[in-house]
Structure 1
Amino acid sequence: MKQLFLATAMAAVSCGVCAADEAIAPSGNVEFGFSSTTGNSEVTTVKGKAEYTHWLGQFENRYLLEALYTEDEDQVSKERYYGEAQTNNRFSETSYLFGFLSNDIDKFSGYRYVATVAAGYGHRLYQGDKMYLDGELGPGYSYKRVDTAQAPDSGNESSVIARANLDFWWAFSDNAEFRQKLSSDVSLSGNATISKAESSVTANLVGALAMKFAFNIKHTTKPVDDKESLDTETSMTLLYKF
């Protein structure tokens, strides 16, 4: 079954490389945040994120890369690298089939990495003048490789999952927008379910430059070893749109 999910999603993602001569102009954004304190406490945090979207015929291809690094009193307290790719075969104005791949490397989660592949159906649930809501649902497969240094008594996890995703966007003024993303990889094999949420407000500054305020939540139902179930992150970054 794992091979079936992997082959389906890989086929959907790879289809996006067909018909390159029909490509529409790509778009994306890059954001970067940095903070450093010295004196009684010395903390340095660096965050970077890049998103890129391009069209090949009726295929909409999206890519995301993200990194977070925090050093507290010369000790690394957070280090995370995340990447995902998704292709949407939009066969109508409101409906599409998607293929999704991701890899999450969070060095303080108890896992060395969490790899996910999924495929399914997406639909635009609501479309307004300055607002939309997209929903996605489909089967998939997740493999969680345990970090034995952090959790020596835990084993690797292979799970058939149901992936659910909601994406809400609202331009509530001419210069600002709100975005709410919700996703959950629900384990159907009795292992950990990982859910994520990001709430963000982006305000234009000048030209293509904007300021982004974001609050992220990550919840794991069955964390390994003695790890916390809930991780949160509040960030403020500069964002460049292209």
Structure 2
Amino acid sequence: MSTFKLTSLACLICASLTAHAKAPLEGEVELGVITTSGNTETTSLKGKVGITHDLENWKNQYQLDALYKKDEVEVNGTKVSQTTAQKVFVSGQGDYKLNAENAALFVYASYEDDKFSGFEYQSTVAVGYSDQLFSNEHSFLNYNIGPGYTFSKLEEGDKEESAVLRLAATYQYKLSDNAKFSQKLSTEAALESGQNTRSKSETAVSANLMGNLSMKAAYTITHNSDVKVGKEKTDTTTSITVVYLF
């Protein structure tokens, strides 16, 4: 990660944490592990940590998302274990609250290292406006919109930079007292012709098991509009995880 991108993300996180260190934190820890043996051997690990730091003037959100998968594959007639997925995503967003109930100005930074995407890394910084479109006893819809800049490095070593428009939305619907449906969408649309547009979607249903523990089933899609030859533009992940809320 370059000094600029590292500094952007570090400053966003450190400044908000140190400003009001005694403010309460809320969040969730998500973990899923799948291992098979016998005729087919696979190991899959998915972890996620999300933290919300709600202060008087700021509402800050941090996320760490990791995926690892190892499969048994056949190479030259011999079965060997190989890593087939390895991805780490980290992001931070600070929302400066305006006079309106849910309106805010945001600063956002992210970094992703996906070993099988064709990119050595992909990073984004953005600023803009966030608000809640509607909210009632069963559902709500939040959104962010604003300009930004992306930095990426291909596996071959070539670096790319592009101005983007970042759009993000979170919808949640209460299915029952113990279950909910959620849909998260984001896109970083390139403003220059021929540059990469990256989009993500997570569709999930979660149900409370007991206390602070829930079970979550999710389907995640990541799409890059411009990838190297031989790489797929769209990656999908289906997961079942246990979530601990705090």
Q: TM-score normalized by structure 1?
A: 0.90
Which is bigger in relative contact order (C-alpha 8 A, separation at least 6)?
A: 1
* Cα 1:107/1:203, change in 2 over 3 Å: same
TM superposition shift of 1:129:
1.3
CA deviations on 1:10-31 (whole Å, 9 max, x unpaired) are: 88766635751772x2110001
Which residue of structure 1 lines up, in the alignment, with residue 180 of structure 2?
A: 177
Q: Do residues 78 (structure 1) and 85 (structure 2) align?
A: yes
Gaps of at least 5 residues in structure 2 are 73-80
* Cα 1:162/1:13, change in 2 over 3 Å: farther
TM superposition shift of 1:170:
1.4
CA deviations on 1:11-70 (whole Å, 9 max, x unpaired) are: 8766635751772x2110001100111111111101111101112222001100011000
Q: Counterparts of 1:38 and 1:21 in 2: how far apart (Å)?
A: 46
Letter paired with 1:39:
G
Percent of aligned pairs with the same residue?
37
Q: Counterparts of 2:8 and 2:64 in 1: how far apart (Å)?
A: 23
TM superposition shift of 1:7:
9.8
Match of 1:147 among 136, 155, 160: 155
Letter paired with 1:109:
S
Residues 22 and 56, structure 1, Cα contact 8 Å, conserved in 2: no
Q: Counterparts of 1:103 and 1:238 in 2: how far apart (Å)?
A: 25
* Cα 1:157/1:19, change in 2 over 3 Å: closer
CA deviations on 1:149-175 (whole Å, 9 max, x unpaired) are: xxx7xx321000100011101122100
Q: Counterparts of 1:21 and 1:35 in 2: how far apart (Å)?
A: 37
Q: TM-score normalized by structure 2?
A: 0.88
Letter paired with 2:16:
G
Greater shift after overlay, 102-111 or 166-175?
A: 166-175
Which residue of structure 1 lines up, in the alignment, with residue 238 of structure 2?
A: 234
Residues 6 and 117, structure 1, Cα contact 8 Å, conserved in 2: no
Q: Do residues 100 (structure 1) and 99 (structure 2) align?
A: no
